[in-house]
Amino acid sequence: MKQTILLSLLVLTSVCSFGQNEVTQGFERPNQQNNLLPVTYQLFPTQNTWTFLKLNTRNGTIWQVQFDVEGDNRFETYLNLIPLVEKEKETDNRFTLYPTQNIWTFILFDQIDGKSWQVQWNQEPENRGIWPID
């Protein structure tokens, strides 16, 4: 009887542990890099199959990158060309992007001083840009 209870407990614990790993993996950022490796540029996928955001992790500048298998709609355009920190404060991996529930919106986060910006990408130029979150 004791062996049956112990075996059942072991199986239940294993199943619960496996279930936890599956849930946790589903919420990982798709392009998360090892912070020990210095990375100046990083691509972040959007919910749009054809669009990525390219981030300069040193200074917070961002571009929208779109690819196309036909070749007619490939482009790269800026969302923010103004560095968000002074040149002497730039360092790899300083900035990162977090997706939100809104397909068009990301949060840009300064991992050193904790500042945040709302980042909007869009096919229409007038709907692109970044704004500080105060």
pLDDT in tens, the chain (134 residues): 555 554 454 444 444 444 444 333 343 445 555 556 899 999 999 999 999 999 999 999 999 999 988 878 889 999 999 999 999 999 999 999 999 999 999 999 999 999 999 999 999 999 999 999 98
Please state the pTM of the whole predicted model: 0.72
Please give the structure tokens belonging to residue 70.
């036909």
Residue-wise burial string across 111-130, b where 16 or more C-beta atoms lie within 10 A, e elsewhere: eeeebebebebeeeeeebbb
The CA-based diameter of the chain, rounded to the nearest angstrom, is 71
All structural domains of the chain with their residue ranges: 1-30, 41-133
Would you say 35 and 92 are in contact if contact means Cβ atoms under 8 Å apart?
no
